[in-house]
Amino acid sequence: MTSTLKITDLPVAGYERVVRGVDPSCGLHAIIAVHDTTLGPALGGLRMWPYASEDEALFDVKRLSRGMTFKSAVAKTGLGGGKAVMIGDPKKVKSEALYLAMGRLVDSLGGKYITAEDVNTSVQDLEIIRRVTKHVTGLERKDGGSGNPSPYTAYGVFLGIRAALGWVFGNDACKGRTVAIQGTGAVGSALAKRLIDAGAKVYGADRNTERLQQLQKEIGVVPVGENEILTMKCDVFAPCALGAVLNDDTIPKLNTPIVAGAANNLLLEPRHGKVLADRNVLYAPDYVINAGGIVNVSVEFHPGGYDEKVALGKIERIPQALKELWQIAKDERIPPSDAADRLAERILADARGQKKAAACSVPPKGTRRG
């Protein structure tokens, strides 16, 4: 079939490149946002979602790609930030032709953007994309990839929760602690297992009640209702489902000294970091504690290729990064979320400065250095 893919640049201030790809032959309507490549190629997942409009998709892809820049900067992955979204209902529109067209759109950016798994995109979908572009990560181990990132994300969140327990209670042991997990999906269930193995009592809520019951049987997660999970008394609230769950409505109802979970963009607005701090709730900034997955993927770019030991070693630095942010927050009387943003911005500004200085020191063509 001949491709009818039409690629259009969308000028968006503050973003290196934003492109729209439309292919009526397969129903593709996608946007890729490359936010920043100062630290390396822009890596971020491909999300499919039934957005109500292109404006809504653009808003989401901008927000997510900027988040990836910050996440990779603080986690020191050597990568920049980008993201891709496909507009559509995954139950209705998924097809091989659709992913081939998406792959061509990814390829058109020549490696400036590298794609990966995200909501409603599976490794199988990525395998199709790989047929038309090499700029894909997170493929199965047998195909030279780093595999499913979720267990690595869960490991980082587990270590981050322990760091938070140590910070608040002076003892990072999980034994006897209660953790309320909102969303026991890929990350939430792996996190629950680690916590239970370490002696914590874990409560879980999920819309997928069958899966929750299975987790109750298999590992002892105690199921609670969707509303209860947010308000129950616990030592840690671990949101692992959706973004924006920390807002004016929910924060006053929290009954926990710690919020530390895997979901992205947990604060509805940046100011909610202060609302949490004012209530004396310790917050583990989302993109710092949930960086295990991207750290794992980033190891694919190391000269010797993917090595799990290297990935685990880097993930084990997450607790230290969190403790440094909490200390900055304490010393400077700012919320930890602001401390994380400042750190990311400083890392990016330094790297931009170094690039500029390097560019200025290159002698003009035709001159020789003695």
C-beta of 27 vs 185, nearer to ligand NAD: 185
**Interface with ligand NAD in residues 80-109 (CB under 6 A):** none
Q: Is 142 a catalytic residue?
A: no
Per the CB < 8 A criterion, the answer to whether 64 and 35 are in contact is: no
* Distance, C-alpha 236 to centroid of its chain: 20
Q: Which residue is nearest to ligand NAD (CB)?
A: 185
C-beta of 22 vs 205, nearer to ligand NAD: 205
- Positive or negative: CA dihedral 114, 115, 116, 119: positive
Q: Does 147 bind ligand NAD (CB under 6 A)?
A: no
- What distance in Å separates the CA atoms of residue 183 and residue 355, rounded to the nearest whole number? 42
Q: From the list 242, 313, 352, 353, which residue makes contact with ligand NAD (rule: CB under 6 A)?
A: 242
Beta sheet of 178-182, edge-to-edge order: 222-223, 201-205, 178-182, 236-239, 258-259, 282-283
- Binding span for ligand NAD by CB under 6 A among 80-88, 178-186, 342-350, 360-368: 178-186
Which residue has tokens 């020789």? 368
Structure tokens given for 25: 């032959």
Q: From the list 58, 100, 240, 344, which residue makes contact with ligand NAD (rule: CB under 6 A)?
A: 240
Q: Residue 35 has what DSSP assignment?
A: E
C-beta of 89 vs 96, nearer to ligand NAD: 89
Nearest Cα to Cα of residue 22 among 36, 32, 35: 32
Contact pattern for ligand NAD over residues 288 through 317, marking x by CB under 6 A: --x--x------------------------
Q: Does 320 bind ligand NAD (CB under 6 A)?
A: no
Q: Does 65 bind ligand NAD (CB under 6 A)?
A: no
Per the CB < 8 A criterion, the answer to whether 84 and 61 are in contact is: yes
- Binding span for ligand NAD by CB under 6 A among 10-18, 135-143, 170-178, 203-211: 203-211
State the number of binding residues for ligand NAD (CB under 6 A): 22
Q: Which of 62, 83, 94, 314 is catalytic?
A: 83
User: β-strand 178-182 against 236-239: which pairing, if any?
Assistant: parallel
Nearest Cα to Cα of residue 327 among 317, 290, 319, 36: 319
- What distance in Å separates the CA atoms of residue 319 and residue 232, rounded to the nearest whole number? 25
**Interface with ligand NAD in residues 264-283 (CB under 6 A):** 264
Q: Does 67 bind ligand NAD (CB under 6 A)?
A: no
C-beta of 293 vs 335, nearer to ligand NAD: 293
For residue 48, the surrounding DSSP H or E stretch is strand 42-49
Q: Which residues bind ligand NAD (CB under 6 A)?
A: 149-150, 153, 182-183, 185-188, 205-208, 226, 240-242, 262-264, 290, 293
Hey, which residues are catalytic here? Answer: 83
